[in-house]
Amino acid sequence: MIVPMTPTLPTPILTATAVEKRYRGTPALRGVTLEIATGELFGLLGPNGAGKTTLLSILAGLLDADAGSVTLFGTPFTSRDAAARRGVGLATQDLAVYPELTARENLLFFGRLYGLGGTALKQRADEMLALAALTDRANHRVGTFSGGMKRRLNLAVALVHGPRLLILDEPTTGVDPQSRNHIFEQVRRLNAAGLTVIYTSHSMEEVQALCPRLAILDHGRVIACDTVANLLRRLPTTGRITTGQAVPQTLPGVTALRRTDSGVELDAPDGPTLFAALRHWPGLEMAALDVVPPTLERVFLQLTGPALRD
């Protein structure tokens, strides 16, 4: 029996403790512990195969963990917990909409699965069509839709029953930039209105743009979980100097010196240390100095390593 972790966030909506999952003996999740606060827009970032979809499937009650536990809305949660499952909306990575049905028919179908009906469901379907900017395509078959329209409908379907927690699994796969922006805006708006959101992506740029706090999953483990600001603070400040001069072996406070085609790149714990170090470079003549801003992409590569993932 695993004892759930003591909550560290004020009001967790979800807690995963030491969650493990194997597929035919091969581990996909190797002890995932995670806590998400009510009202958060939380990012789950990881390369392909990291275990993101497996974890979300467990958090949405589609799969059960082999070991470990999940607490959802304050009570222990498994796939048999139908009432708690209704509180979750999952927009799956593989589109869950029917191409033979129209956009409205899809919404009505999924609404009925959740026990909605009558005028309340019709009204809800209209609201969701508006949210997905599909009102004027409501009676068109989904099979005729672009990738962006299908993704927008997939999001609307995940929301039709009014969940408290929205889980998005790579919601911008195969969409054009306009649809991507539309999805971003809706996610921000829904979160500002109080909905808790877990936003999953392999795109560091997307997660950095949307999510104040995130976890990085790699090989089935959480290798970092923090605010974007704190994760970026872990990186050194990098200065790129264009100079034809010989480069010194060391400089005080500089943690790494790399020669480049046009000069040198140096890392220091922060900007002031970097500039102080340059004063110790006798007779430095530089043509240009660029300070390279830290990005989540660099944090991610530093943590996960350069090896290619499939």
Q: List contacts with ligand ADP (CB under 6 A).
A: 23, 28, 46, 48-54
Which CB, 171 or 263, lies closer to ligand ADP?
171
294 by Cβ neighbours in 10 Å (0-12 / 13-18 / 19+) ranks as middle
- Selection from ligand ADP, Mg ion, none that 11 binds (CB < 5 to 8 A by kind) is none
Q: Six-digit token pair at 290?
A: 């660029």
Q: What minimum distance in Å lies between the beta carbon of 65 and ligand ADP?
A: 13
- Selection from Mg ion, ligand ADP, none that 49 binds (CB < 5 to 8 A by kind) is ligand ADP
Helix (H) or strand (E) holding 117, with range, is none
∠ CA 20-22-27, nearest 5°, is 80
Enumerate long-range contacts of 104-112, CB under 8 Å, 24 or more apart.
104/129, 104/138, 104/139, 106/142, 106/153, 106/157, 107/153, 107/156, 107/157, 107/160, 110/157, 110/160, 110/161, 111/160, 111/161
Q: What minimum distance in Å lies between the beta carbon of 45 and Mg ion?
A: 12
Q: What minimum distance in Å lies between the beta carbon of 90 and ligand ADP?
A: 13
What residue ranges bind Mg ion (CB under 5 A)? Answer: 52-53, 93
Which CB, 23 or 229, lies closer to ligand ADP?
23
Which CB, 87 or 171, lies closer to Mg ion?
171
Q: What minimum distance in Å lies between the beta carbon of 50 and ligand ADP?
A: 4
Phi/psi of residue 287, each to 5°?
-85, -30
Residue 14 near residue 35 (C-beta atoms within 8 A): yes
Q: What minimum distance in Å lies between the beta carbon of 164 and ligand ADP?
A: 23
* Closest to 302 measured CA to CA, from 244, 242, 234, 256: 234
Which CB, 52 or 182, lies closer to Mg ion?
52
- Selection from Mg ion, ligand ADP, none that 137 binds (CB < 5 to 8 A by kind) is none
Which CB, 14 or 268, lies closer to ligand ADP?
14
Q: Six-digit token pair at 178?
A: 């306009």
- DSSP secondary structure of 228-242: HHHHHHTSPEEEEEE
Residue 14 near residue 165 (C-beta atoms within 8 A): yes
- Selection from Mg ion, ligand ADP, none that 54 binds (CB < 5 to 8 A by kind) is ligand ADP
Q: What minimum distance in Å lies between the beta carbon of 260 and ligand ADP?
A: 34
Which CB, 11 or 48, lies closer to ligand ADP?
48
